[in-house]
Amino acid sequence: MRASAFHITTLKEAPNDAEIASHRLMMRSGMIRKLAGGIYNYMPLGLRVIRKIENIIRQEMDAAGALELLMPVVQPAELWIESGRWEQYGPELLRMKDRHGRDFVLQPTSEEVITDIARNEIQSWRQLPVNFYHIQTKFRDERRPRFGVMRGREFTMKDAYSFDRDVAGAQKSYQVMFDAYMKIFNRLGLKFRAVSADTGSIGGSQSHEFQVIADIGEDLIVYDPATDFAANIELAAAPCLIAQRAAPSEHVAEVSTPGASKCSAVAEMLKVPLSSTIKSIVLTTEPKDKPAVIWLLLLRGDHDMNEIKVGKIPGLKDGFRMATDEEIIEHFGCKPGYLGPVKTIKPVKVIADLTVANMSDFVCGANREDFHIQGVNWGRDLPEPELVTDLRNVVEGDPAPSGVGSLAIQRGIEVGHVFYLGTKYSEALKATFLDEGGRPALMEMGCYGIGVTRIVGAAIEQNHDDKGIIWTKTIAPFEVVVCGLGWGKSEAVREQAETIYTALKQRGIDVILDDRDLRPGIMFAEWELIGVPLRVTVGDRGLAEGIVELLSRKNPDPTKIPVQDCVDQII
Ligand code: ATP
Ligand code: MG
Ligand code: MG
Ligand code: MG
């Protein structure tokens, strides 16, 4: 590719709605252009990155035995009615009518359609197991699209669906996908953590999210630095909800101040890291016949509080709605919102009484804004108790088990999600097969999503500096840029730059030749913004000494290389 024939349109400034680095840099480098809220054009530069991510995912999915197909973006409402999600899904599901007045949706996910395919295509146990996947446009009418491609309304997802004869088979399929995801996110060069996640209303027994570690992440991860325990905040919070189910009307929660036996011990043990604006409360619930459980909640307050008032917001208990900012300020004296970066450790002091029932009211208002859309209705659909044993072990255990003494919290961007579904969809859509004895049986399912376009943003969040993006080679829009200085004037530069460019191309390197005859400062700044990992500079001054310059985007110091060694150095 030649830069003169490519579409490079960088911007000095990012638009005002770009709040985070990755959004700003994607706009400035010309990767995306906004069409409407949460809807973006992927420009040639951005699409190159997306395609590379897709290809890594595709290679690993294929290697794991999954079969690619392609399901339509537009899906008939009938299937959604059959699964029950036409009613349940809420306003994130974009619904529309065709000219005959028939209802359709723009797909936010494909469980219904794939189960329809399975029930039509699979008759015999001999056809199982099978795992179908596609990489397709999704639409979710997000309440708050933001951060560019990170929370878009239209975005690209890889979604896979496994079908098995029995639970043991489904668990194996789940593990195969889990392992494939580890490979994918490693190849993408991301710093990530696989965390146990809640299974919400689906109530299966297994779910993991793959969280890219980043301060701007919208999710909270609770993990134990000493063991491999890691869970998302919803799962970490589950114990109190289980207690609620165990004793819905009982007063089972107690909030203690430090110094009061168990609670303070837990608080102490947790050593929750807090930023200067984050405060935390740690509550224990202790019904006499139930094991103690802990509840952990973080809030952002914009004034310095070392006490947090905990109480119930009237009206939240019965209906299921979010507390307004005003209500939260009135009742808790602090603002809801996302947390800033975790910085320092502060002691926790908690006052007031709380019942478990109103803890979930509290979380409604303060912690998550979209959990009810995920199909988890915290008031009614409670996670399975087994899911939280891990956390309970960590927080209750004798520190001599695990060596556990503290749980840490960090923020993450959910880039992948694997989920054991059981027979939820096969039952609703009657997807059966004939088992070895000739009896009809329900297919055991799993679903596995990866946010392809979200990964672009997540990767940039983890890899950028004040000059721009720093791509890892595997997903860079170009691996190498050859910059010819004084292009218009120097025959020698043109000749040498062309030679290097052609040689790299022949060796399979994804290289772009900058033949635009720009001033060096402008040219270099542009490639630094775009984030190409390696730059080769060919200029008259260097050529006079028989050298070209190599500069890694990660390293401020160029190295001088004899012209004839340049290509070998790069490949
Ligand atoms: P979130 O909690 O961020 O809303 P989700 O749990 O609703 O995500 P899933 O249904 O698990 O998302 O979808 C699989 C993957 O699709 C997610 O792990 C995420 O990477 C990606 N994804 C979901 N919503 C969006 C979005 N609005 N924009 C971009 N990617 C998304
Ligand atoms: Mg969502
Ligand atoms: Mg999620
Ligand atoms: Mg998810």
ipTM for the predicted complex: 0.99
pLDDT at 497: 98
Q: For the residues 127-134, what does the mean pLDDT come to?
A: 98
* pLDDT higher than threshold 90 for residue 305: no
pLDDT at 270: 34
pLDDT at 206: 81
Which atom of ligand 1 is nearest the CA belonging to 413? 3
Which atom of ligand 1 is nearest the CA belonging to 450? 15
Which atom of ligand 1 is nearest the CA belonging to 419? 11
Q: For the residues 273-282, what does the mean pLDDT come to?
A: 27
pLDDT at 301: 28
pLDDT at 196: 83
Cα–ligand 1 centroid distance for 463 (angstroms): 21
Q: Which two tokens stand for residue 3?
A: 């830069």
Contact at 8 Å (CB) between 14 and 130? no
Please state, rounded to an integer, the average pLDDT across all residues of the chain: 75
Q: Which ligand places an atom closest to the C-alpha of 218?
A: 1
pLDDT at 122: 98
Cα–ligand 4 centroid distance for 157 (angstroms): 12
Atom 14 in ligand 1: which residue has the minimum CA distance? 449
Which atom of ligand 1 is nearest the CA belonging to 416? 18
Please write the tens of the pLDDT for every residue from 220-234: 776 766 667 677 765
Please write the tens of the pLDDT for every residue from 159-203: 999 999 999 999 999 999 999 999 999 999 999 999 988 665 454
Contact at 8 Å (CB) between 470 and 440? no
The more confidently predicted of residues 261 and 564 is 564
Q: Which residues contact 462 (CB under 8 A, 6 or more apart)?
A: 190, 191, 212, 213, 214
Please write the tens of the pLDDT for every residue from 352-367: 222 222 333 333 222 2
Atom 7 in ligand 1: which residue has the minimum CA distance? 374
Which of 23, 414, 456 most suits a substitution to test ligand 1, by most atoms within 8 Å of the C-beta? 414
The more confidently predicted of residues 39 and 410 is 39
Which atom of ligand 1 is nearest the CA belonging to 142? 27
* pLDDT band per the 50, 70, 90 thresholds, residue 218: confident
Length of the chain: 571
Cα–ligand 1 centroid distance for 209 (angstroms): 10
- Rounded (10°) CA dihedral 471, 474, 480, 481: -50
pLDDT at 235: 58
* pLDDT higher than threshold 50 for residue 16: yes
Pocket, ligand 1, Cβ cutoff 6 A: 109, 140, 142, 151-152, 155, 157, 370, 374, 414-417, 449, 451, 453-454
Which atom of ligand 1 is nearest the CA belonging to 370? 4
Alpha helix (H) residue ranges in 233-385: 233-236, 238-246, 261-270, 325-332, 356-366
pLDDT at 426: 97
* pLDDT higher than threshold 90 for residue 517: yes
pLDDT at 233: 62
User: Rounded distance, CA 493 to CA 536, Å?
Assistant: 12
* Ion ligand 4 residues within 5 Å by Cβ: 417
Please write the tens of the pLDDT for every residue from 417-476: 999 999 999 999 999 999 999 999 999 999 999 999 999 999 999 999 999 999 999 999
Q: Which ligand places an atom closest to the C-alpha of 140?
A: 1
User: Rounded distance, CA 497 to CA 484, Å?
Assistant: 6
pLDDT at 557: 94
Atom 25 in ligand 1: which residue has the minimum CA distance? 151
Q: Which two tokens stand for residue 91?
A: 């306003």
Mark residue 311 as left, alpha or beta (left: phi above 0; alpha: psi -120 to 50; beta: remaining). beta
Neighbours of 554 (CB within 10 A): 12
pLDDT at 400: 32
Give the Cα-Cα-Cα angle 448, 454, 459 (nearest 5 degrees): 110
Atom 2 in ligand 1: which residue has the minimum CA distance? 414
* pLDDT band per the 50, 70, 90 thresholds, residue 263: very low
Please write the tens of the pLDDT for every residue from 74-120: 999 999 999 999 998 889 999 999 999 999 999 999 999 999 999 99
* pLDDT higher than threshold 50 for residue 550: yes
Atom 26 in ligand 1: which residue has the minimum CA distance? 151
Model pTM? 0.78
* pLDDT band per the 50, 70, 90 thresholds, residue 409: low
Which of 454, 455, 456, 460 most suits a substitution to test ligand 1, by most atoms within 8 Å of the C-beta? 454
* pLDDT higher than threshold 60 for residue 313: no
Sign of CA dihedral 395, 397, 399, 402: negative
Q: For the residues 394-414, what does the mean pLDDT come to?
A: 53
Which of 216, 417, 418 most suits a substitution to test ligand 1, by most atoms within 8 Å of the C-beta? 417
Q: For the residues 250-271, what does the mean pLDDT come to?
A: 28
Cα–ligand 1 centroid distance for 451 (angstroms): 6
Q: For the residues 376-401, what does the mean pLDDT come to?
A: 34
Neighbours of 260 (CB within 10 A): 14
Atom 1 in ligand 1: which residue has the minimum CA distance? 414
SS3 content of the chain, % helix, strand, coil (to 5): 35, 25, 40
pLDDT at 333: 45
Cα–ligand 4 centroid distance for 210 (angstroms): 9
Which of the listed ranges 182-186, 252-256, 313-317 does the model predict with the highest average pLDDT? 182-186
Atom 19 in ligand 1: which residue has the minimum CA distance? 451
Q: What is the CA radius of gyration of the chain?
A: 27
* pLDDT band per the 50, 70, 90 thresholds, residue 494: very high
Neighbours of 248 (CB within 10 A): 11
- Rounded (10°) CA dihedral 167, 170, 176, 178: -90
Classify residue 564 by burial, with Cβ atoms within 10 Å: 0-12, 13-18, 19+.
Answer: exposed
Lowest mean pLDDT among 123-137, 292-306, 556-570: 292-306
pLDDT at 197: 82
Which of the listed ranges 114-128, 209-223, 240-254, 399-413 does the model predict with the highest average pLDDT? 114-128
Half-sphere exposure of 343 (CA within 13 A, CB side): 8
Which atom of ligand 1 is nearest the CA belonging to 373? 7
Q: For the residues 123-141, what does the mean pLDDT come to?
A: 98
Cα–ligand 4 centroid distance for 417 (angstroms): 5
Lowest mean pLDDT among 251-260, 302-311, 378-387: 251-260
The more confidently predicted of residues 287 and 452 is 452
